[in-house]
Amino acid sequence: MGKDIPKAKHDHETLKFPDGFLWGAATSAHQVEGNNLNSDWWDWEQTQEENHRSQEACDQYNKYEQDFDLAKSLNHNAHRLSIEWSRIEKEEGVFDEKEIEHYKKVLAALKKRGIEPMVTLHHFTNPLWFAKKGGWENFKAPYYFERYVKVIISKLKGYANLWITINEPQVYAYMGYLTALWPPQRKNNLKAFIVIWNMARAHNKAYKTIHKISPEAQVGIAHNVGSFDSFHHHSIRETFVVWFADITQNHFFYKLTGIKTHDFIGLNYYFNKYISFNGERAKLPSIVDVAVTKKEVTDMGWEIYPEGIFDVIMDLSDYHLPIYITENGLASTNDDRRCRFLISYLKEVYHAIQTGAHVKGYFHWSLIDNFEWADGFKPRFGLIEMDYATQKRRVRDSARVYAQIIKNNGLPHYLLRFIGHTVKAEEVLKK
Ligand code: BGC
């Protein structure tokens, strides 16, 4: 039976990504560097339990060469990291040359290894002096931010070309002012809006300043985008809320700033949400608990939904700008799950490119396990595992699978076989 059917032999074939595609991983200063003493987050952590304080973190402030060597050995050709404002400007208006020199060395270390840096200027943390002045609620915040950006770009312009002004402005406002689970823990809708408004003004000012000093620079934000769907497919009410959620989470910030101050779209994709009006009489829409949908989740309880990355890429493609996936990843101690995650999400990115989206790079979150904000050190997001007690690094199998993808500049067919739930990393790596 079946003897006329030739054996499938696709191993030489690959779902190829565009030439020059940037492949790498992302981190942020406070989450990996350790001892970020002059920031508002550090200050706040001192009121939290021990495992919820960043302390030494991965000590990447000192061990960056070691981590970049690992990234290089895993074929990464790009890396997203952030510069810590509270180190550079510990005191208001005083810029620390030693710290600027430090970041010059960090960026040079990437370049030396043939790794293209993408640099974030603000990733959730603020200098203490800035926080004490009211932080992003202060209408002068855009001025303070621009002053810092001007110094950084003047000194570091030769070291990087891809700049992210602000990481996830809306998440910052949401976590600090709506759920108030993060500093400054001020629950207040109006303040949340003012913060977003000031961040939009700050981005625009920074965009202009960066271009004035470094005309060839490419500037954008890293934006947390979500995919949404109605739970009851024929519900008009739910479909309307899906549309509204998309506008408010995915497009609002671009409407506030105007799209002209973005050279690219930076997408951080983690969340898929089903919207429901529970039962016939429910007046308000709600987000359906993942337990109800019985979908596979990460250790954070976030649904694994590869198709969502296709949706958000296509949605944001309407701006006709290049797109970088500035973050995408999962917390999991099950590394086979991370392999499957990588392969299945990247397959969707491939399809989005085939459909016409200009995706130019993918940064997995994260290079290494790190300090997951209010969740402390428990969630494991890294391609590289951290032993915090010994500061030892161990390359996970998923990092090796990703290295094979990068080597092929795409997904070889033999990896696609492992999307099924029985995937075992050793089997993938035997190839
Ligand atoms: C943030 C990261 C964070 C990651 C996982 C993103 O929203 O930019 O700092 O670690 O999500 O929660």
State the pLDDT at residue 9: 56
Residue 427 or residue 28, greater confidence? 28
Amino acid letter for position 418: F
Does position 137 have pLDDT exceeding 90, yes or no? yes
Does position 390 have pLDDT exceeding 90, yes or no? yes
Ligand 1 centroid vs 264 CA: distance in angstroms?
A: 20
Q: Stretch 375-394: mean pLDDT, rounded?
A: 98
Half-sphere exposure of 188 (CA within 13 A, CB side): 9
Does position 431 have pLDDT exceeding 90, yes or no? no
Q: What pLDDT, in 10s, does the model give residues 201-244?
A: 999 999 999 999 999 999 999 999 999 999 998 999 999 999 99
Ligand 1 mutation pick, 58, 164, 170, 373, max ligand atoms within 8 A of CB = 373
Ligand 1 centroid vs 170 CA: distance in angstroms?
A: 12
Nearest CA to 367 out of 1, 29, 8 is that of 29
Region of poorest pLDDT, from 123-127, 151-155, 426-430: 426-430
* Confidence label for 414 from pLDDT (cuts 50, 70 and 90): confident
pTM: 0.96
Q: Stretch 111-115: mean pLDDT, rounded?
A: 98
Closest ligand 1 atom to Cα of 171: 7
DSSP state of 213: H
Closest ligand 1 atom to Cα of 224: 7
Amino acid letter for position 87: R
Nearest CA to 366 out of 31, 109, 106, 30 is that of 31
State the pLDDT at residue 316: 98
Q: What pLDDT, in 10s, does the model give residues 150-199?
A: 999 999 999 999 999 999 999 999 999 999 999 999 999 999 999 999 99
Q: Domain extents for the chain?
A: 21-408
Helix ranges, 236-306 (H): 236-245, 252-257, 290-293
Token code pair at residue 360: 């130019």
* Confidence label for 2 from pLDDT (cuts 50, 70 and 90): low
Ligand 1 centroid vs 329 CA: distance in angstroms?
A: 9
State the pLDDT at residue 424: 78
* Confidence label for 4 from pLDDT (cuts 50, 70 and 90): confident
Pairing of β 384-387 and β 78-82: unpaired
Q: Are 62 and 113 in contact (CB under 8 A)?
A: no
Pocket, ligand 1, Cβ cutoff 6 A: 28, 31, 167-168, 171, 224, 268, 327, 365, 372
Phi, psi (deg, nearest 5) at residue 395: -75, 125
Q: Is 250 exposed, middle or buried (0-12, 13-18, 19+ CB in 10 A)?
A: buried
Q: Are 113 and 75 in contact (CB under 8 A)?
A: no
Three-point CA angle 289, 294, 298, nearest 5°: 80
Q: What pLDDT, in 10s, does the model give residues 330-381?
A: 999 999 999 999 999 999 999 999 999 999 999 999 999 999 999 999 999 9
Residue 49 or residue 427, greater confidence? 49
SS3 360: strand
Token code pair at residue 27: 């981190």
Closest ligand 1 atom to Cα of 329: 5
State the pLDDT at residue 12: 61
Does position 8 have pLDDT exceeding 90, yes or no? no
- Pairwise CA distance, residues 89 & 92, whole Å: 6
Q: Is 263 left (phi over 0), alpha (psi -120 to 50) or beta?
A: alpha
Give me the percent of the chain exceeding a pLDDT of 90: 89
Q: What pLDDT, in 10s, does the model give residues 415-424?
A: 988 787 676 7
Name 328's bridge partners.
269
- Pairwise CA distance, residues 151 & 94, whole Å: 11
State the pLDDT at residue 429: 80
Ligand 1 centroid vs 150 CA: distance in angstroms?
A: 26
* Confidence label for 10 from pLDDT (cuts 50, 70 and 90): low
Amino acid letter for position 320: H
Q: Are 295 and 231 in contact (CB under 8 A)?
A: no
- Pairwise CA distance, residues 225 & 312, whole Å: 7
Closest ligand 1 atom to Cα of 373: 10
Q: What pLDDT, in 10s, does the model give residues 251-263?
A: 999 999 999 999 9
Tell me what the pLDDT averaged over the chain comes to. 95
Neighbours of 179 (CB within 10 A): 12
State the pLDDT at residue 279: 75
Which residue owns the Cα nearest ligand 1 atom 5?
Answer: 372
Q: Stretch 315-327: mean pLDDT, rounded?
A: 98
Assigned CATH for 21-408: 3.20.20.80
Ligand 1 centroid vs 398 CA: distance in angstroms?
A: 19
Tell me how far CA of residue 18 lies from CA of 22, 24, 163, 349, 409, in angstroms. 9, 15, 22, 11, 8
Does position 382 have pLDDT exceeding 80, yes or no? yes
CA quadruple 32, 34, 39, 43: dihedral sign: positive
Q: What pLDDT, in 10s, does the model give residues 61-89?
A: 999 999 999 999 999 999 999 999 999 99
Q: Is 384 exposed, middle or buried (0-12, 13-18, 19+ CB in 10 A)?
A: buried
State the pLDDT at residue 6: 65
Ligand 1 centroid vs 167 CA: distance in angstroms?
A: 9
Token code pair at residue 277: 């009006």
State the pLDDT at residue 179: 98
Does position 1 have pLDDT exceeding 80, yes or no? no
SS3 116: strand
